[in-house]
Structure 1
Amino acid sequence: MARNSYSIGILLIGVAVVLLLGKLGVFHFIASFFWPLALLIPGLLFHLLFFNRTLPAGVLVPGGILTTYALMFFYCNLFGWGSMSYLWPGFILGVAVGLYELHLFDRSSDRGVLIAAMVLGIIAAVFFGMTLLFKLGIYVIALLLVLAGAALILRRPRSW
């Protein structure tokens, strides 16, 4: 009987600790920060199951998409959701990554998969560039002016 009461005592202490941590907001903080793991774990699991030869190469497409999106969401959790105003082309890039992985690891994949991956990747890169130019345009212009001025100063004159 003493052993049974010992187990129940540990169980009651464990329940009390869980209740107190919940009341202090620990679980809410963990859930609000680490929720992208709900996307990252299945994405990595798809990759693992493919490389263990359990599932076909088609699972690399959702695996690449989920992994890319999870990384974007982790970035937004760290640096604020205002970052999504210039990270949104990552949603297009995620599909491009998934398709490119399919092309890379599936020997029987169609050439159209590579073309689709490249087109989506280029579109995402153009949108990233445009977004950064619109958001950070004045800084890019100032950097280019500084570089042009430094090049003029440091360039050796051909004749004086």
Structure 2
Amino acid sequence: MSKLDRVALLFGIILTLLGIILLVNAAAAYFWPLFLLSLGFLFEFGMLGKGAGRLVPAGILIVIGTVLLVCSIFGYDKMAYLWPSFIFAPGFGLLQVYFVNRSRNVLKVSMVLITLSGIFFVATFFRIGWARVTFGVLLIMIGVTILIKGVRRKSE
């Protein structure tokens, strides 16, 4: 059985099961999250896409599908706390690519996105009023550091 046949078979099974769920109406609210998770795992295990690049959409779909599934189970009001996951999702996908390719640039971008989402998670979960000030000071420090390094490079 060719890889394309296996993908078609697996995708057909997933769609059939999701259709049965919709018809039975046992868990119709879980349809879209499960669909996104299924697509994510198809990318993850190489049944859709080739190379390390497939891991970015895999990571994004798995994280977003998980967030939507949590919201389907516990209520979409939880999105007020889970919105930083949308920043985390591409960072997670890029982190997976880093583990395959070991590219330092991919790791840097991934860590920036994951760190930003972590900061926003902390600020959101604990409703820290000073988080904006702390984040602003952090951004100023990073910006000044980049400027100083740029000036030093020009003078050399």
Q: Rg: which structure is higher? A: 1
**C-alpha displacement of 1:33:** 2.3
Question: Is the counterpart of residue 63 in structure 1 residue 58 in structure 2?
Answer: yes
Listed one character per residue, the Cα deviations across residues 103-152 of structure 1 (whole Å, up to 9, x for unaligned) are 11125xx31110000010000000000001118xxxxxxxxxxxxxxxxx
Distance in 2 (alpha carbons) for counterparts of 1:130 and 1:36: 26
TM-score normalized by the length of structure 1: 0.61
TM-score normalized by the length of structure 2: 0.63
Q: Which runs of 5+ in 2 are unaligned?
A: 1-21, 129-156
User: Secondary structure of the residue that 2:46 maps to in structure 1?
Assistant: helix
- The one-letter code sitting in structure 2 at the alignment partner of 1:46 is F
1:9-48 pair list within 5 angstroms: 26-27=24-25, 29-48=26-45
Residue correspondences, number: 106
Q: Which runs of 5+ in 1 are unaligned?
A: 1-20, 136-160
User: Secondary structure of the residue that 1:49 maps to in structure 2?
Assistant: coil
Distance in 2 (alpha carbons) for counterparts of 1:118 and 1:35: 29
Question: Is the counterpart of residue 105 in structure 1 residue 110 in structure 2?
Answer: no
Question: What is the aligned-residue identity percentage?
Answer: 40
Residue in structure 2 matched with residue 122 of structure 1 by the alignment: 115
Listed one character per residue, the Cα deviations across residues 67-97 of structure 1 (whole Å, up to 9, x for unaligned) are 0000101100111000000100000011110
**C-alpha displacement of 1:31:** 2.4
Q: How large is the RMSD of aligned CA atoms in angstroms? A: 2.0
User: Secondary structure of the residue that 1:44 maps to in structure 2?
Assistant: helix
Residue in structure 2 matched with residue 93 of structure 1 by the alignment: 88
